[in-house]
Structure 1
């Protein structure tokens, strides 16, 4: 009997076809809506492999009731949606999709920085709404990017890629990371104390993973350390920033603006308080969203499933 794979979103046929040749494939029939939790539990209990999205929570209880499950292939770099320790204890392999989305996500992070600093979202809204009546000396004025200081929190592959882009804008780059990354210091200076980075940077970019240590690490106190002219760009996981504190800081002028690609709870409701502020540039978690990159991520997931179900060690194993 062929092994069975459950895919938690509807994916392009060309990415699924290599699996169909070898395995029984079950796939949730929606591209836009997450698979219902009850159905995910039912499928997990019966299949040999799960191909998951970052919106799917795979916890220890679900794995307890999945006696045949051998691999969870997660279509993301992050894997905080999966209890990796529980998977390890149960002998279930977890894989992710690093590297292939590095440059694409760095492009988005830097674009979000530029858009926020130069008020592109709010000024476009004024233009489309008929609010632009005349050129004015201080109309739609933003903050410089060229020649300023960029502070990166979380200096992984994406952070290093952003630092390369920043050098093209003549920026001074500083970074804070759990461990010093000396190979990154060709373009960036290490700052051991996060408070110092927040105080010095004109633009703060969050690229750290969401862990117990980083959850809520940017709150009211941290925001108060930033310059009143500073921007905060969040492009890794939303739970790192206290959104209530960020709303107050933006509303009260504690900081100048924010660019957000990620949020504590996704998708974000249209009435989310941060979306009401003119000094917020917000996009719907599109860091890796190019056709080429998403297909590359799918290809990695498919190959990992094939490798594990054919008793080979997969690339990109995280647990």
Structure 2
């Protein structure tokens, strides 16, 4: 009996995932990175007649691409926590199993989040730039930043990542933790977090940390109006998705010093151009979307996505089903 065919759509898929697939399926790895012009055309070519797909790419997975795979397609797994790059409606319409890799990346992303909080609040970008240019102006008023101790931290989206961020920040003697979301989280009481409407959270918080999924409801959640609610000393950190923030509005708020600073691991587009206005701001510290980029985390994500498709091909529930 012929082996099932699995397509992996980006060449950076870790060997830890390939090892699980070996001798169980016939897999093909697209030999390109997302930004290479050959990437999407090659994916389209290789999609035909596959039984499963590991969608480890930022390209959007749409109905027409699923059509290219044809009737043999049994399942898809992302190698990501978020699914905003997937046309979920198409999967629901086709009753096609879809898996993802949440939770396994919570700790790595939470670590990066704390790093961004510190870097933005303590003006790392400006200090390093002056050091590298030989223009340091030492003195008691040089490059003063914001304290975390005694502050109010508001977390927008209180799932696994948001909770992991709070646990780390507790060691910084934060005075008050707030969170916003659709429902009360049962973990909140033990963690000492208080749920408030988003407007109230923004008004009270010294640090605003965005951990929410990107949906039509959260797209441009941070905009001219909501930035206007925030404190002038506020630091905003985004590890969710770039489009949760209206970047033009953020640029204006930072440029005019209406908020203190921003730390971003996600932007739109990615990668962001080196001459983008946000990149030029001294009070905007940007990382190239490295939240889950540790060896162990990426290996674990690869293993989960591989197991998702192997289980689905056997007619069993995925480890982390979305649909």
What stretches of structure 2 of length at least 5 have no aligned partner? Answer: none
Cα drift, residue 92 of structure 1: 1.6
Where does residue 134 of structure 2 map in the other structure? 130
| 1:5 is the counterpart of 2:9 | no
Deviations 1:264-310 (A, max 9, x none): 22121111110000001100001111111010100101111111122
2:150 alignment partner, one of 139, 147, 152: 147
Deviations 1:141-189 (A, max 9, x none): 1111111110000000111111111211111111111111132222243
Distance between the aligned counterparts of 1:188 and 1:120, measured in 2?
Answer: 30
Cα drift, residue 31 of structure 1: 4.8
Cα drift, residue 128 of structure 1: 1.5
Where does residue 166 of structure 1 map in the other structure? 169
Which stretch of structure 1 is more off in the superposition, 116-125 or 185-194?
A: 185-194
Aligned residues: 318
Instruction: Give the structure-1-normalised TM-score.
Output: 0.95
Distance between the aligned counterparts of 2:72 and 2:34, measured in 1?
Answer: 28
Where does residue 16 of structure 1 map in the other structure? 18
Where does residue 305 of structure 1 map in the other structure? 309
Distance between the aligned counterparts of 1:286 and 1:173, measured in 2?
Answer: 25
Deviations 1:40-68 (A, max 9, x none): 22322321111112502111222233221
Deviations 1:167-224 (A, max 9, x none): 1111111111111113222224334321111110001000000001101111001001
Distance between the aligned counterparts of 2:59 and 2:34, measured in 1?
Answer: 13
Cα drift, residue 39 of structure 1: 2.4
Distance between the aligned counterparts of 1:191 and 1:283, measured in 2?
Answer: 29
Secondary structure class of the residue paired with 2:178: strand
CA RMSD of aligned residues (A): 1.5
Distance between the aligned counterparts of 2:209 and 2:221, measured in 1?
Answer: 13
Secondary structure class of the residue paired with 2:172: coil
| 1:111 is the counterpart of 2:115 | yes
| 1:28 is the counterpart of 2:27 | no
Distance between the aligned counterparts of 2:243 and 2:284, measured in 1?
Answer: 17
Where does residue 37 of structure 1 map in the other structure? 40
Distance between the aligned counterparts of 2:292 and 2:41, measured in 1?
Answer: 28
Where does residue 277 of structure 1 map in the other structure? 281
Cα drift, residue 314 of structure 1: 1.2
Instruction: Check conservation: 1:166, 1:173, Cα contact below 8 A.
Output: no
Cα drift, residue 98 of structure 1: 1.1
What stretches of structure 1 of length at least 5 have no aligned partner? Answer: none
Cα drift, residue 32 of structure 1: 6.5
Instruction: Check conservation: 2:77, 2:305, Cα contact below 8 A.
Output: yes
Where does residue 231 of structure 1 map in the other structure? 235
Distance between the aligned counterparts of 2:92 and 2:295, measured in 1?
Answer: 32
Instruction: Check conservation: 2:61, 2:87, Cα contact below 8 A.
Output: yes
